[in-house]
Amino acid sequence: MTARREPSVRQKAFSNDQRFIATLTAMLLLLLTLLAAGGFFAYIGLFGLQMNTFENRQNLRVERVISAFSRELGHIRNLTRVLQNSPSVQQALDAGQPADLDALAASFVRFARAVPAISQVRWLDPSGEEKVRINLSQGRPYRVGEAELQNKAQRYYFQEALRTAPGQVYLSRLDLNLEHNLIVRPLEPSLRASILTGAHDDQHPGVLVININLTAFFEQLRSLSDSRMTLELVDEQGYWLLHPEREREWGLQLNRRDQNLGLLSPALWQSLTRPQTGDNLLQGGRLWSSARLHYDLDATDKSTPAHAFVLVASAPGAIAKIRTHLLTAVILAGLVLLALGLAALYHLYRTHRERARLSVALEQEQQQLVRAYSNLEQSHIQLHELQDELVESRRLSSLGMMVAGVAHELNTPTGGALMAISTLQTQLQKLQTSVREGMTRTALDSFLSHTESGLQLAEQNLRRAADLIRSFKRMAVDRSHNEISRFDLAELIRDLRNSLSHRLKKSPIGLVMDIHEPLQLTGYPGILSQVLQNLIDNALSHGFKPGHSGEIHVTATLSGERLLLSVSDNGQGIDPQVRDALFDPFVTSRRSEGHTGLGLHLVHQWVYQLLEGSMSVESDATGTSFSLDIPLEVKGGL
């Protein structure tokens, strides 16, 4: 037998080189695969973070527009009711005597002079005939002559006003002002507020109509568009009411039927008209955020549109720019990593030692793990910073709701005081006329009687306004200073109730405060007030089915050196899908409606960490109850 020859050193080296090259080739392919996969997922993740930033910023802008509309429409409703209930209007339309159209016109003129946004004030009889109309010319109100009065029986807003329940204010849709069936130039975005007069308030039957010129308000909305995002307002049929390009606006009334969102962007329009409007949509290279705007909250079964759409979109090209930047960054990072990988492989090839190659590979893997851990730790820190920012945003949102409550609650007393003073001025003018013409005893007695009642009314309203201001001031100071102080629980509850009264008036849900004895606490009054408000807001938003009535009870009892607080409702209970994770951050069953899921999470954190207490929750089909156990004296600090 021929002895088998051992491979030569060169053959062994060649064989080892072949195996080593094969190993290097496999490692190179693996590196390329990992880089491609890592670059893809990095791009997706970074793009998602950028989109989240855009979405949050645009959603805040949408909420700002909705809030501005709510304040403006609430102000218009209040103006309409103030005018109808003014003594001069009630006296002019007193059903016990013929309608005093001259006195009614004088009252309209005074009212229009006091409210610059009014473009027209009218009173129409049940047949639609204008009996009194006040127009404004260059900001000065004047009465329109009888020959120029028109019949408005065929106008939709008059017909809808006749179907409105007594005491309710009907708000027309947003459209352009017409005069003699012609569009007024320059264009005047208008809204008409109507309210019935008649037997229900001992007045002559008819319709009181106020035309509000929204040109200034629309210009304020237009200013919200900037280089980062644009604001659009679209009616229910898809026609623009507000657009950065003015030629696209009012297409329905100006016979520009091609300027319609449904025609120009069908996918976006289809998304808007879905029942769950409010999601963000990436369409046409732009990010769109939207919300429905319901501007006639008093409407009940009307055929006219009940809402419009608020659209906020990223600037054209902004998303493409982000994609380009991210792709460039990911590609550069991939090239750097590829270069590092090739350098490592080249180093392994030169050393030609499997043991050294394994050692270097292990070291590289360890370095990658360290970098991954560092990135994870940094991401964790950023997540906590983002959560802190969301907490601050929640507190600022609460402050905004409190400011809205101040504006709403002060409208009534200040408006009443203003009307009382206006009436006193009218009586004074009559007295001066009587003095010049020969004052009678009857005129003097009448003036004294009206003066006394008017001063009493003004004093009552101003005292009410002062009480509200003091109440809201206490709450604002408490929430802006996170310091331990001594406070009265009953006073804190009253202040909180005042801040929520405007929301409760619009809701069929009642709030019952059961605080029978004076309780002095030492702790954080602003934090405790915010905790109670979050729990009440949670009950109002989630505790009851839409349109259902019910009650929310807040009770406080003393147990030794501890205070037991309870916020309970008789609503539908907590959704089982979120019950187990109720206090986790970002858990909500109504995210599509703008809820962040931070309210109860913050309550839990505040109760345990700041108020040094504990809390529990019980819920079933008959309602939900949150129980808080906190000390009468908090000893810790922020």
Confidence (pLDDT) at 510: 86
SS (H, E, C) 39-96: HHHHHHHHHHHHHHHHHHHHHHHHHHHHHHHHHHHHHHHHHHHHHHHCHHHHHHCECC
Query: Does residue 241 sit in helix, strand or coil?
Result: strand
What 3-state class would DSSP assign to 215?
helix
Residue 415: predicted pLDDT: 65
pLDDT confidence of residue 351: 82
Residue 373 neighbours by CB under 8 Å, 6+ apart: none
**Euclidean distance between CA atoms 323 and 415, whole angstroms:** 54
The low-confidence residues of the chain, meaning pLDDT below 70, are 1-13, 276-279, 295-306, 352-364, 379-380, 382-413, 415-417, 419-420, 424, 427, 438-440, 443-447, 449-450, 452-454, 456-482, 516, 586-598, 637-638
> Would you tell me how many other CB atoms lie within 10 Å of the CB of residue 146?
11
- pLDDT at residue 98, rounded to an integer: 92
**Whole-structure pTM over 0.85, yes or no?**
no
Cα-based torsion angle of the residue sequence 386, 392, 397, 398 in order, rounded to the nearest 10 degrees:
140
Only one residue has tokens 């304020």, namely 220
pLDDT of residue 582: 77
DSSP 358-393: HHHHHHHHHHHHHHHHHHHHHHHHHHHHHHHHHHHH
The answer to whether residues 309 and 324 touch, using CB atoms and an 8 Å cutoff, is no
* Domains parsed from the chain with CATH numbers: 86-217 (3.30.450.20), 481-631 (3.30.565.10)
Which residue type is seen at 178? L
Closest CA to 141 of 166, 168, 169, 117: 117
Model pLDDT, residue 409: 55
Give the pLDDT confidence score for residue 451 in this predicted structure: 74
Q: Nearest Cα to 574, choosing from 600, 607, 604?
A: 600
- Alpha-carbon radius of gyration of the chain: 35
Going by C-alpha positions, the residue among 6, 24, 27, 7 that lies closest to residue 353 is 24
**510, 497 Cβ separation under 8 angstroms:** no
